[in-house]
Amino acid sequence: MEVSNPYLGYKILFEAMVKFSAGISMIKNLEELPLEINLHLKYLINFQEFNYYFIKENKVDCLWVNQTGKASYSTCSLDQLDAFAQQVLESGVPASKYCKVSKTSIHSWKFYNENNHFSLLLIRSHSDNPFADKSIPLIKVVNKILSARIENLNMVQLIHFQNQKLARLTTALQAKNKEIEALNRKQESTIIEKTSRLKDSNSKLKGLIQFNSHQLREPLTRVIDMVAIKDDLPVEEYISDILPLLSESVLDLDRAIIEVVQRSEVFDNEEN
Amino acid sequence: MDSELVPNSYKVAVRTVANAALSDGHVEEKDFDALMNAGFNEDEIQELFAQADLVNMLNTIANISGIKIDNEIVELSYSL
């Protein structure tokens, strides 16, 4: 009795593809990607070597997986790709070639992805375990999964770099803010000090004005009044009674002027 | 399992593990070599034979208990 299920192959592939997709989506950086591909790809296609190039402008992300378990990630420029890859890249037409010596065949496809990026997929397989034509539809799905993940990881990396740059700029800005705050504080203290000195000067100036008004004005008024009564008194009486007082008042005025000058000098010295 | 859709490494794994699980656990050096050549590393081979071991144990319990093997396993055993 032989039981056959025509959909078993599809079920197996579906399960393998789900695991492949889930595994790829768990990857956190590009360096781990080839190892994850290596883990799942043998359940999807026959291959000896799997090369995947994700091309973004002139930068190429190269993923290489070998059936024996070796895998690597590297970057290169477009002109470093081999002649066969360059040919497929330029023509955009899928191509394959067979090497009789090594009994291996290489299949290659170019895919146009989102954001004007494209990818190149190369599969080398041995004639003992050839790449099956029926697996070709899977290649498109594999490319879709890989290109989306690489795009995503590149974006995450870019965001990470920009965040780091932003953090550096924020630190620099915070340092500058601190400098500005220190300068502001210094300026404020200078203003407070100058205001205080100005208030002090004003107070002293006010004192000086008050002194001038009282000490200078009083003997001067006496002199003016005594001069004013000159014609009202006899000359002898004026000379004997008023002149000594006038002389005393003039001396008082002189002393007051000397004091004003001294106070002004002290004030000037304090100001300087 | 003969489908061209299924890659050889998958077929080798299922064939070897099914053989180990369903044929009283007769495993030889060439079975390990076949798995290595199909691209499986030591950890994966260990995991595959752990699966075979589990199935073997469950089959033993099922035989003792008189439980019938489900159709998918029967189908696999015939398609190998």
Q: Which chain A residue has the Cα nearest residue B13?
A: A43
Q: Does B25 touch chain A (CB under 8 A)?
A: no
Asked whether residue B1 is assigned to any structural domain, the reply reads no
CB contact under 8 A, A43 and B1: no
Can you tell me which residue has the tokens 């090497």?
A99
Q: Which residue has the higher pLDDT, B71 or A244?
A: A244
CB contact under 8 A, B78 and A2: yes
Contacts of A98 (CB under 8 A, 6+ apart): A104, A105
Q: What is the mean pLDDT of chain B?
A: 83
Q: Which of A4, A5, A46 sits opposite B8 (nearest CB)?
A: A46
Asked whether residue B3 is assigned to any structural domain, the reply reads no
CB contact under 8 A, A43 and B39: no
The 10s digit of each residue's pLDDT in A144-175 is 999 999 999 989 989 999 999 999 999 999 99
| ipTM of the shown complex | 0.73
Q: Does A162 touch chain B (CB under 8 A)?
A: no
Q: Which of A3, A68, A132 sits opposite B75 (nearest CB)?
A: A3
In order, the DSSP letters of A107-161 are EEEEEE-GGG-EEEEEEEEETTSPPPGGGHHHHHHHHHHHHHHHHHHHHHHHHHH
In 3D space, the residue among A26, A70, A27, A33 whose CA is nearest the CA of residue A48 turns out to be A70
Residues B44-71, mean pLDDT to the nearest whole number? 86
Write out the residue range of the structural domain in which residue B34 sits.
Answer: 8-79
Can you tell me which residue has the tokens 């995450």?
A156
Q: Does A11 touch chain B (CB under 8 A)?
A: no
Q: Does A68 touch chain B (CB under 8 A)?
A: yes
Q: Does B40 touch chain A (CB under 8 A)?
A: yes
**Number of domains comprising chain B:** 1
The 10s digit of each residue's pLDDT in A47-86 is 999 999 999 888 899 999 998 888 999 999 888 888 899 8
